[in-house]
Amino acid sequence: MISTGRKVRVKQMNFLKERIEKDGKVLSPSVLKVDGFLNHSIDVQLMDEIGKAFAEAFHQNNITKVITIESGGIAPAMTTAFHLNVPMVFAKKAKPSTMSDPVYTTVHSFTKNTDYTLCIERSALSEDDNVLFIDDFLANGQAFEGICHLLEKTGSNLGGVGICIGKSWQKGQELVMSRNVPLWILVSIQKMTPEEIVWDEPSAWACE
């Protein structure tokens, strides 16, 4: 469960909940498959609604760029950037030969249980950037930590975090909150089995 008095907000997104209940598949007590609409096949109308919701949540935070990690975060990050009217950059999981001055970090993959290298071109972010991190899931926060390292290496600031699907028993939410940045989660799962998903109620969540 979420601790109170911190900068966490959940927006009750009923249509995302309904879609997860209809088309999501619980593969294990900690892994939910949503590749029919979010991170493989993409429901573009749903992504547009998600982008609008994050843009509404962060429109007063002076965001200059949206960042995500390939590939699951690209669709929601792109619609968010579109509605905030700012550029979007995604961190790559392998260094392309075309990258001239990459910055790197190592991230542990939650779903694959292996380490991978994350990189962006140094010039993609600058000291003037106030960056919003968008991702499909927040589990133990390793992807988030990797993004924080890349931002530190480029001197840019983390201005907020927007997550489509949170899982509140895992460590990621505490980790984000410990960095004292605004965190918005569109729907949050308290526990899940192949038969049932139990949702966190927004009223149980703390606001700024």
Residues in contact with ligand 5GP, total (CB under 6 A)? 19
- Least separation, in Å, of the C-beta of 166 and ligand 5GP? 10
* Least distance CB 183 / ligand 5GP (angstroms): 12
Distance in Å, CB of 82 to ligand 5GP, minimum = 20
Q: What is the DSSP string of 142-195?
A: HHHHHHHHHHHHHT-EEEEEEEEEEETTSTHHHHHHHTT--EEEEEEEEEE-SS
Site string for ligand 5GP, 59-78 (x = CB under 6 A): ----------x--x------
**Out of 8, 32, 118, 132, which residue is the one contacting ligand 5GP (CB under 6 A)?**
32
Q: If you search the block for the tokens 């007590």, which residue do you land on?
A: 29
CB within 8 A of 60, min separation 6: which ones? Answer: none
Options 7, 11, 23, 31; binder of ligand 5GP; rule CB under 6 A: 31
Q: Does 26 bind ligand 5GP (CB under 6 A)?
A: no
135 binds ligand 5GP (CB under 6 A): yes
- Residue-level length of the chain: 208
One-letter amino acid at 193 equals: T
Q: Determine if 140 is a binding residue for ligand 5GP (CB under 6 A).
A: yes
142 belongs to the binding site for ligand 5GP (CB under 6 A): yes
Residue 24 CA to residue 184 CA, distance in Å, equals 21
Amino acid at 117: T
- For residue 97, the one-letter residue type is S
- Contact 132/84 with Cβ under 8 angstroms? yes
Per CB under 6 A, contacts with ligand 5GP among 93-132 are 110-111
172 binds ligand 5GP (CB under 6 A): yes
> Using the rule CB under 6 A, which residue among 89, 136, 182, 205 binds ligand 5GP?
136
User: Would you say 133 and 161 are in contact if contact means Cβ atoms under 8 Å apart?
Assistant: yes
Peptide bond into 71 cis (omega under 30): yes
Q: Give all strands (DSSP E) within 92-155, no chain letters.
A: 102-108, 115-121, 130-138
Asked if 183 touches ligand 5GP (CB under 6 A), the answer is no
User: Shortest gap between Cβ of 5 and ligand 5GP (angstroms)?
Assistant: 23
Task: Name the residues that contact ligand 5GP, by CB under 6 A.
Answer: 31-34, 69, 72, 110-111, 135-144, 172
